[in-house]
Chain A
Amino acid sequence: MRDAVKNMVGNVTYLLANLRETGRRLWHNSLAEYLLHAHTSKDLAVYMKYWVLNYTTIVGFLVECAITLGPARFVRTLIRSPWILTLLKVNALSRRFLKGRTGRYNEAICMTMHTIVAGTVWLLREMFFDPERLVVNEDLVPPDIAHAMGLRCYLLEAMGIVLPMLDPEICLEYIDEAENEGINPDSCSLPKATIGMVLKGHLPGGKAVVSSNLPCDAGAASYTYFQRAFGVPIYRLDVPYHFHTERAVDLFVEDVKGMIAFLEEHTPGRMDWDRFRQMCENRNRMLELERELWDMLRVRPSPLASEAVWMSHLWHFNVTPEFRGSTEHFERLVTLARKNLEENLPATVNERYRAVCWNPPFLHFPDIFNWAERTYGLTILNDSMSYNHLEPIDTATPESMLRGWSRIVMHGPMVRHTRGPAENYLDDIFRMVRQFDLDMVWVANHVGCKSGQAMNGILREKCREKGIPLLILDYDLSDPRIVSHDNMMRQVEHFMDNVMKAPRLDG
């Protein structure tokens, strides 16, 4: 009792002592502050339109959920998955992304955020509305085939990726839960957070699980636990190490066929090749549009950049490739970029430096790109999770579709780069430098990513040889306790001041 009172007094004292700082932060992230500082009334109108659309979509889902599941199951779902309410913070994240941005750049980011909200709600429907047809996929196994089979599917790690963007500290309780249960604390925080969510019963299990040997040892190994926790059958795809050869594609296609047979055996789903063809064609169209967008980004200064590019790819290619809004989103992005290009309007008038973010973007601090853009005129044009040189899927026959789809998995984000040989990693970086006319490379040096860590030495020397400035920015993917936001900004400042000799735009 005495301790409780002592704690309470301590907390109140802390709150009072930090009142000014807390108030400043709240104001800085508030809608009122944004409204006051919006560049133009059009920017404001665009933001408000998407503000309404985002909330309407989420609240609409909650209402739909209450009707579909019934009040009791709805409440139970909210109790079991309390993170759902975190989605309501999406407009605050939008505001963090929109600071200092205007015109079509502003609109593209608003639009990107909204398509992700719509996609997330679609994903939540998959998760909660039809458990008898639900399949859980690992995040690097795209859901296309499960959907072509008429199944519901969600990516187990998806929420571990989305939630820290909305609330930087939300994964901490899950990470701690997993560590307390015995997982090695030095492993990647994404599998740790996902394990924590499953341990707490915050994610549904479905009828079957499909995983793979990707993207890393911790991610692949975590599925032994998931299988035992969910108590459902599992199929594990195995991408060969030497994945560039036709022999490897042959092996992997056989594996994918095994996965289809497995799903037909353990779920009510049946393969519908026409539906799969439609999905492949959607993917091809998205790929074509993305190429067009990237071609426009080569212009200096770039007509669009940052979240509009990397978040669009991250979400639409990996999480909801067959979502009907995905292709339309890329069409609209291309239109906005083209208009900017035609009118000679850059995304940001202060573009002084162009960079790529290599390795997973900073989930709990995604607005560091916005900060760097406002502070140094540094534009992030692309990231390693988006960068690919895929070929369109040949939709002529089921076999050709499986081969094309298999190649997508085999060359997917983090597949090319988190395994040897080193050429997979280095060649893509230097190809991007040439393709986007970059001034520097940022490596998001996630402490849990051993594969990335062990490439820094070679990369450093190769960049030095080629005269490319390299920032290796230490952080942890989902855990801001390891490296704080302030520390991350200091690392950028030191690099920009000492290596780039860049003057600050803010004085």
Chain B
Amino acid sequence: MRLFEELLESPQNALVEQASRDGRIPIGYSCSFVPEALLMADRLFPVRLRAPGVAGTEIADNYMSALTCSYTRSLLEFAVDNRYDLIRGWVFVPSCAHTQRLVDNLEYLTKPAFSHVIDVPRKVNDVTTAWLADELEILAQRLSDHFEVDMGTASLEEAIDCWNTFSGVVLSLGALRKRPRPPLTGADFHRVVMACLASPTDLILPAVLSLYRRIEHEEGTADCRARLMLVGAHLHDPAFLAAIESQGALVVADRFCTGSIPGLLPVEPDGDPIRRLAAHTFRKTLCPRMMEDFDRRLKTILDTVEEFRVDGVVIEIIKFCDLWGVDAMPLVAALRKNGVPVLKLEREYAAGGEGQLRTRVQAFIESLGR
């Protein structure tokens, strides 16, 4: 686990450095609506943008105001601070107002050589899937022209295969948490997922496989007071989960942007790779920006509650996130109506306020009768 921890200590870890030295091209992205498999073609590899250990966002506050999402501000702060110097290209999605303005400010302040916004529609049907496929085609063409990489069908098929192998291993690891006594904690699993998202997949995969083989027949040692599921948007720091678990709970399911449900689904087989990636993008995301998706979001949570034997759901929302902030109102009501206990927490991107968090979680676990 130490390896995964180390890989999360900086925004560009040792594996990213190693791949860059080998002539490969890291592409930064910030949103789950970016199909990672597309950015795995040829010499490209995707790096989830993070701001570990961000201490303050003074410059970003000046441009984006302190009344916006601290994740986007943290990314801008790190970008202005040249903490993403290895990143050769940026791929964004206009997923929310904050991200849209992050792009504006980042382009204004740092003038990146390659920056692209994928226009992902906010509802899913045949027409919008075709639109998204066109958008991915445009991105592939731009990547090919700018970085002189092969974005042809064979190259994309190979990238999709890599993604599917990788997601299969991580999902198998995640499935171990369905057991009554999971062999790894929620914080540990999240360390693995985040390290994977922040590294070239092929370089980190052996470590994940080795971990899986080591623990697949193990059983967790202690009983937990409650099995919890986390729901929300970006959550990078495993310390948040560790704080929750310090109260005797175990986080067994992660339905947030940087979690595995449903973010690490494999790409469906057969057909044109771009079209499959477009459909995959819609399948692997569950964001309130999608206007007609509330029922699917709710069903996924309820199914996961059953599958992972979850006792309670914790909805974590980054302060100033309107999408989750507004959506949480009907979501909390709907979950409670279905008999699922819910705790709603507001937090900042960087881990903090641990004392308050522990108190809230402790009270929640007690309210579950545990």
Q: Is the CB of B108 within 8 A of A186?
A: no
Q: Is the CB of B325 within 8 A of A218?
A: yes
Q: Nearest chain B CB to A456's CB is how many angstroms away?
A: 6
Interface residues as binary, A409-437 with B (CB distance below 8 Å gives 1, 0 otherwise): 00000000011111000000000000000
Q: Is the CB of A241 within 8 A of B326?
A: no
Q: Is the CB of B63 within 8 A of A457?
A: yes
Is B119 part of the binding interface, using a Cβ–Cβ cutoff of 8 Å? yes
Q: Is the CB of A221 within 8 A of B119?
A: no
Q: Nearest chain A CB to B67's CB is how many angstroms away?
A: 5
Cα-based distance from A455 to B62 in the complex (angstroms)? 10
The verdict on A251 contacting B123 (CB below 8 Å), with A187-B322, A450-B101, A454-B105 known, is no
Q: Which of A177-185, A310-318, A350-358, A490-498 lies at the interface with chain B?
A: A177-185
Q: Is the CB of A450 within 8 A of B98?
A: yes
Is B35 part of the binding interface, using a Cβ–Cβ cutoff of 8 Å? no
Q: Is the CB of B119 within 8 A of A454?
A: no
Interface residues as binary, B308-342 with A (CB distance below 8 Å gives 1, 0 otherwise): 00000000010111110111111011100000000
Q: Is the CB of B323 within 8 A of A221?
A: yes
Within 218-250 of A, Cβ neighbours of B (below 8 Å) are at 218, 220-225, 228, 236, 238, 240-242, 247-248
Cα-based distance from A186 to B67 in the complex (angstroms)? 8
Is A447 part of the binding interface, using a Cβ–Cβ cutoff of 8 Å? yes
Pick from B94, B322, B329, B330: contact of A241, CB below 8 A.
B94
For B294, B320, B325, the residue with the greatest tally of chain A CB atoms inside 10 Å of its CB is: B325
Is B96 part of the binding interface, using a Cβ–Cβ cutoff of 8 Å? yes
Q: Is the CB of B97 within 8 A of A454?
A: yes
Pick from A184, A191, A458: contact of B346, CB below 8 A.
A184
Cα-based distance from A341 to B141 in the complex (angstroms)? 56
Q: Is the interface of A mostly helix, strand, loop or mixed?
A: helix
Q: Is the CB of A254 within 8 A of B127?
A: yes
Is A272 part of the binding interface, using a Cβ–Cβ cutoff of 8 Å? no
Q: Is the CB of B330 within 8 A of A456?
A: no
Cβ of B344: which chain A residues have Cβ within 8 Å of it?
Answer: 182
Q: Is the CB of B329 within 8 A of A450?
A: no
Is A151 part of the binding interface, using a Cβ–Cβ cutoff of 8 Å? no
Give the number of residue pairs across the A-B interface with Cβ within 8 Å: 150
Cβ of A228: which chain B residues have Cβ within 8 Å of it?
Answer: 330, 334
Q: Which of B144-152, B189-197, B274-282, B284-292 lies at the interface with chain A?
A: B284-292
Q: Is the CB of B325 within 8 A of A187?
A: yes
Q: Is the CB of B119 within 8 A of A240?
A: yes
Q: Nearest chain A CB to B296's CB is how many angstroms away?
A: 12
Cβ of A221: which chain B residues have Cβ within 8 Å of it?
Answer: 288, 322-323, 325-327
Q: Is the CB of B119 within 8 A of A242?
A: yes
Q: Is the CB of B100 within 8 A of A453?
A: no
Q: Is the CB of A421 within 8 A of B64?
A: no
The verdict on A419 contacting B326 (CB below 8 Å), with A240-B119, A242-B119, A458-B108 known, is no
Cβ of A454: which chain B residues have Cβ within 8 Å of it?
Answer: 63-65, 68, 72, 97-98, 101-102, 104-105
Q: Is the CB of B108 within 8 A of A224?
A: no
Cβ of B123: which chain A residues have Cβ within 8 Å of it?
Answer: 236, 238
Pick from B108, B121, B317: contact of A238, CB below 8 A.
B121
Q: Is the CB of B326 within 8 A of A222?
A: yes
Pick from A240, A450, A456: contact of B320, CB below 8 A.
A450
Cα-based distance from A222 to B324 in the complex (angstroms)? 10
Interface residues as binary, A313-348 with B (CB distance below 8 Å gives 1, 0 otherwise): 000000000000000000000000000000000000
Cα-based distance from A178 to B103 in the complex (angstroms)? 31
Is A87 part of the binding interface, using a Cβ–Cβ cutoff of 8 Å? no
Pick from A184, A419, A421: contact of B328, CB below 8 A.
A184
Is A217 part of the binding interface, using a Cβ–Cβ cutoff of 8 Å? yes
| Nearest-neighbor residue (CB-CB) of B293 within chain A | A224
- Contacts A241-B94, A420-B103 known; list 7 others, CB within 8 Å: A187-B326, A221-B327, A238-B121, A240-B121, A241-B119, A420-B94, A456-B63
A-B contact pairs, 24 of them (CB 8 A): A178-B329, A184-B322, A186-B67, A186-B325, A187-B325, A187-B326, A217-B323, A220-B289, A220-B291, A224-B294, A238-B123, A241-B117, A255-B127, A418-B97, A420-B104, A422-B101, A447-B67, A454-B64, A454-B97, A454-B101, A454-B102, A454-B105, A455-B101, A458-B104
